[in-house]
Structure 1
Amino acid sequence: MLFHSAIRGAQDGQWGRRWWPAHGALLAGLWLLVQTGLLLYYRGPRYAADSWRYLEYAGSVAQHGYYKFADPNDRFVYEHGQRYLVYILFQSFWLGLGAGWWGIVLGQVLASGLAARALYGALRQLAGGRTGAAALATGLFILWPDIQRFNCFLLTESLFISLSVLAFAALVQVWAGGGRAAWLGLGLVLGLTLLARPNGFVVAAAAGVAGLAQLAQRPGRRLFWTAVGLLTLAVPLLLGALNQQLNTFFIVETYARGELMFGARAWAQHPAAALQLPPAGLGQVPRVLYFAAHNPEFLLQLMLGKLFVFASGLKPQYSRLHCLANALVLWPAYWLAARGARRPDVWLPARAFLLAVPLLQAGVVMLTVDDWDVRFLAPVLPFVFGLAALGAARGLAARFPTPPPGAGVPAGR
């Protein structure tokens, strides 16, 4: 298995025994090398198709302190930008300092470095101080190009990935006994992640799943069922908020086109009979529910197709080498992640969080549409790699150095 051999290679032999104690410095050097290589490869900040809408909003905020309408009748940039508010404010901060695109990108690189360090620390704590899983997951986080390359792009992905990882680390700090400061830090990072992009609610929802997992372990489960009841009562409010959040998206239109990937005709599905489309005037959530009620078989066909293109890493525009790399790394990672999710010695809410993020994101993609690239998959890969590393390291725990007394937090806490 690729993940097992990666750990064995670091631990076996004289080289491993000599250099493993310095693996933290090696990871830091590797991170610096990767970032430098990517900046050279892309020749600095990379402008993409969606970059204009963030930069236009952020530039107006940097100049005026608020978004100033160039055309009062054209509200798309403003209304759509509200769903990416934290990223736009992040851009406006650097633009306001006069640092330009380079400031934005270097800020993203710095945030990614902090996230890599936070991921390592959180997984090491969860493993009781052992370093194997932490080093493997952090190494994959640093080396996987479909994650790190976004640091060079003027898009939301880089900052969103960093904030999501920092949210996981903040959750672990709560468990580690960080007190009120840890709770405040968790709330702050979850709030920033929630407002960084529309699917930021996935991370907040995963934190909710982690909280339910913790409550479910308490005797009597009274608080657990109380929380479930309150969430059930809140469903109409949550659906209303979601409907408002989606008012600049056109989900049913992608259904009608049979798209598995937004704007791409490749692998598009074709219905066996004429589709029944919702009437005009409905919100996005009622439109989706109407389509599901009247076209259930075709919707299921679309959902399964979108799950495949999302999770498999196989897309028609990818090279054979790219597809092969995804198959050799991601597919075993999913299997190992399932093993890691069942480790009883790792804090249950952390496992629930790591598992909930990719599963919830998969559900969002199935009900909306996948991206033609990896903009929806990349943000969940740090959590897949984290669980996979926990699953791989369990069988090789004897090969890792024994931590000194007091290293890490006891797993049974």
Structure 2
Amino acid sequence: MSAMGAARRSGVILAALVALGGAAFVGVMVRPALPVDETRYLAVAWEMWRGGDYLTPHLNGAVYSHKPPLLFWLINLVWAAWGEVSGVAARLVAPGFGLASLLLVWRLSRALWPEARDAAAMAPWVLATTGAFLVFASLTTFDAMLTAATLLALLALVWARRGGGRAAWLGFGAALALGVLSKGPVILVHTLPVALLMPLWAERATRPAPGRWYGGVGVGVLTGLALTALWLVPAILNGGPEYRDQVLWGQSAGRMVDSFAHRQPFWFFLALIPLFVWPWGWSPLLRAFTPRALWADEGARFCAVQLVAALAIFSAISGKQPHYLLPEIAIVAALVARQVGGAVAKPWRAIALIPVALMALAALAAASGLIPEAALRGFFVPIPSALLAFAVSAGVILAVWSIRAPALALGLIAPGALAVFYLAGGPSMRALYDATPIAQALAAHQAQGLAVIGGRYHGEYGFAGRLSAPVDALYTPEEIAAWGLAHPGGAAVARLDREPPDWPMVAEALFRARAYGVFRAPEAASVAPEATEAAPAAM
């Protein structure tokens, strides 16, 4: 890679911001909020807005202890600034932290390798166009926020290593507090091991005195605890001991011992490494992860220790989801950016383009009716959408094949794949995963009572319907009958393939690739004669 001037480095960083920001905005406009996570978090933010309890989040009228409140605070702040409740504005809050992460990975790379300014400028571009980050950082979840907090904490550690003193450790603590308020104590898994394992990565000749270094780590942790307590103590008083136990222990440490959700084998993350490094790692740039490269200098060792420690700890935790390692993808990008340069042969580019080609072929096959399982689940691709997706994929393949600059060529692959996916899958996602039709049907009956039948309620309809009434969960025929008698005119949602109640159906819609109906419980007058006839029999 030829040397870049300041203007060109700024242009690369700006291109990274545009790539991720554009992907996030297009995603918000093309697809609905996805159940159950995005719909649930929007529902929690909505209940905070409606109820005015900013200390303790709520979901469906009950205390919500699964996640800390920062995302919900920020969504409410955006709504207050916007002047109204807006789904689009709310769904752009979390991706904003993805954009912040691009700038932070640039700053971290500059701090780790001060002499490599070009590589530092390339790090945001690599990160923004890494497929897994491009997707997960565009969602309304907590992981982009956690990534930003992790990068801030790591930057503070490098600052402390360079002699930043007490200010650096206070910054480390503030970053830890930001991470705890974003997603809980899991921030410690991403940051504390690399701090504690300083002797492994610091140059021997200039290594800090252990007492001073670990004393600083202690100051940082205590600072983080103190800042977190400014929210946590009032929240515990407001939400009670059960809320305290869940938010501090149950939702983080509980997964390490016996996960109650997302249980996966220990090798789960190892199997996903090809996904985490696509497309950049599907090329000779994979040399960034050879033992020699990872141990070449202090900055590389710092990154290696962080990556290996996080991967080992998360692999030992029983609950696993791909997005748990989103902060580590930023570190991967920093390492890969140092290797960007020279030519990437066309056979390697062809390998990285395989997912794009497969998406285009799958779109054509679905549009032609050649994937029966997709049709059975209601998934469809209109022929014009399939043809457009195929044309875009062909354009991406041609551009990647023709462009000489490897950074630009490889950087087009993941955004191109996402464009193909939205073109082909956007219509089906809107038809099959939009909670709005069911939510609006429920909203018309919430004064009489609302319920879901045959499954747990995760807040799927709360925000889309702007619901103010709680939704009951019903499982047995006895519960359904009793609820109907207690809520005449109320509405209940049920899957049509699971023996729905024998009540009038007022709405029908596809949701989560299943057919659902909204059923209205009989009015009191219509059940009174039956109750009257039953009375003599009881005597």
* TM-score, length-scaled by structure 2: 0.47
Match of 2:296 among 343, 363, 373: 343
CA distance in 2, matches of 1:166, 1:34: 19
Structure label with greater radius of gyration: 2
Partner of residue 65, structure 1: 53
Alignment match, 1:328 = 282
2:317 equivalent in structure 1? 367
Identity across matched positions, percent: 17
| Counterparts of residues 235-314 of structure 1 (less than 5 Å) | 243-246=249-252, 252=258, 260=264, 302-303=265-266, 305-313=267-275
Partner of 1:356: 306
CA contact (8 A) 2:194 2:309 kept: no
Instruction: Measure, in 2, the Cα distance between the counterparts of 1:307 and 1:134.
Output: 27
Contact 1:62 1:93 in 2 (8 A): no
1:7-406 maps to which residues of 2 (within 5 A)?
8=1, 11=2, 22-43=8-29, 47-48=33-34, 49-63=36-50, 64-66=52-54, 67=56, 74-75=62-63, 78-81=64-67, 84-97=68-81, 98=84, 100-178=86-164, 180-198=166-184, 199-206=186-193, 208-209=195-196, 221=210, 243-246=249-252, 252=258, 260=264, 302-303=265-266, 305-313=267-275, 325=279, 328=282, 332=286, 335-336=289-290, 338-344=291-297, 346=298, 351-352=301-302, 355-357=305-307, 359-371=309-321, 374-390=322-338, 392=339
CA offset at residue 182 of structure 1?
A: 3.7
Name the one with the larger helix percent: 1
How many residues are paired up? 310
Once residues 103 and 6 of structure 2 are traced to their aligned partners in structure 1, the CA distance between those partners, rounded to angstroms, is 17
Separation (CA, whole Å) in 1 of partners of 2:212 and 2:5: 48
Q: 1:389 to 1:343 in 2, by over 3 A?
A: farther
- The CA deviation string for residues 220-268 of structure 1, in whole angstroms up to 9 with x for no partner, is 8566799999xxxxxxxxxx9975444875964779x9x63xxxxxxxx
Equivalent position SS for 2:313 = helix
SS in structure 1 opposite 2:122?
Answer: helix
Match of 2:231 in 1: none
Change (3 A) 1:330 1:146: farther
| TM-superposed deviation, 1:35 | 2.0
Report SS of the residue matched to 1:196. helix
**In structure 2, what residue type is equivalent to 1:115?**
S
| Cα distance in structure 2, aligned partners of 1:382 and 1:328 | 17
Highest relative contact order (Cα 8 Å, sep 6+), 1 or 2?
1
Distance 1:105 1:68 in 2: 18
Give the letter aligned to residue 43 of structure 1: M
Q: In the superposition, relative to structure 1, how do residues 244 and 208 fare at CA in structure 2: closer, same or farther (>3 Å)?
A: farther
- 1:44/1:102 contact within 8 Å kept: no
Distance across 1 between alignment mates of 2:135 and 2:25: 9
Q: CA RMSD in A?
A: 4.5
Q: Report if aligned partners of 1:91, 1:104 keep a CA contact under 8 Å in 2.
A: yes
Structure 1: distance between partners of 2:145 and 2:284: 22
Check conservation: 2:288, 2:336, Cα contact below 8 A. Answer: yes
Query: Structure 2: 5+ residue runs without aligned partners?
Result: 219-245, 343-539
Could you say if the C-alpha distance between residues 137 and 333 of structure 1 is closer, same or farther in structure 2, counting changes exceeding 3 Å? farther
Change in Cα spacing, 1:89 to 1:358, as seen in structure 2 (3 Å) is farther
| Alpha carbons of structure 1 residues 254 and 128: separation in structure 2 relative to 1, 3 Å | same
Distance in 1 (CA, whole Å) between partners of 2:208 and 2:16 is 46
> Which has the larger strand fraction?
2
